[in-house]
Amino acid sequence: MKRIISILIENKPGALARVVGLFHQRGYNIETLNVGPVFDGTYSRMTVTTRGSENDVEQITKQINKIIDVIKVSDLTEGDHHEYEFIMIKFKHSEKIQKIVKSLNGKIHEKNKDVIVMSAWGSSSDIEVAIKSIGKVNLLEIARSGSIGLHEGERILKI
């Protein structure tokens, strides 16, 4: 089962490597990874998606919690949550691709005789479906942000 794990961590050199390394050390895979500074900039929030059983995820979150730089860990998938992913895509002129991307809250950033650059966002499952239907023809490249997410309602990752 797909899991979305949110991590609040010190924004310090090497902190990210400790989390990423841990997944490998403990035999788990990272599917997507997103990180950026939050609050006053001395914290970072990471969102990692992975696959595993209930027990696996319990072990992962406990092990992440043990990293000294980690402040909070939460498995978003354990309750109701919002989850989105942002992509950027570059392709040769193609009505088909433009239409697909447009349908995902798409926006055109560059359009000339050679290429079109667009951005889009949606749930990662919508993104997956879109990427599949885009296919390989005329596609030049895609950059994905990886999932980011928040708990529903009042629940937050507090400092």
> Any alpha helices (H) in 14-94, and if so which ranges?
15-25, 54-66
Q: How far is CA 86 from the centre of its chain?
A: 8
Would you say 80 and 49 are in contact if contact means Cβ atoms under 8 Å apart?
no
Residue in 49, 47, 52 with CA at minimum distance from that of residue 16: 47
**Residue with Cβ nearer other proteins (65 or 103):** 65
Q: Does 13 bind other proteins (CB under 8 A)?
A: yes
Q: Which stretch binds other proteins (CB under 8 A): 45-53, 54-62, 124-132, 143-151?
A: 54-62
Q: Does 158 bind other proteins (CB under 8 A)?
A: no
User: Which of 31, 32, 56, 59 is close enough to bind other proteins by CB under 8 A?
Assistant: 59
**Residue with Cβ nearer other proteins (55 or 112):** 55
Total of chain residues touching other proteins, rule CB under 8 A: 21
**Residue with Cβ nearer other proteins (36 or 135):** 36
CB-count exposure of residue 16 (10 Å: 0-12, 13-18, 19+)? middle
Q: Does 58 bind other proteins (CB under 8 A)?
A: yes
User: Which of 27, 29, 51, 62 is close enough to bind other proteins by CB under 8 A?
Assistant: 62
Locate tokens 């798409």: which residue?
106
User: Which of 40, 41, 66, 132 is close enough to bind other proteins by CB under 8 A?
Assistant: 66
**Residue with Cβ nearer other proteins (69 or 126):** 69
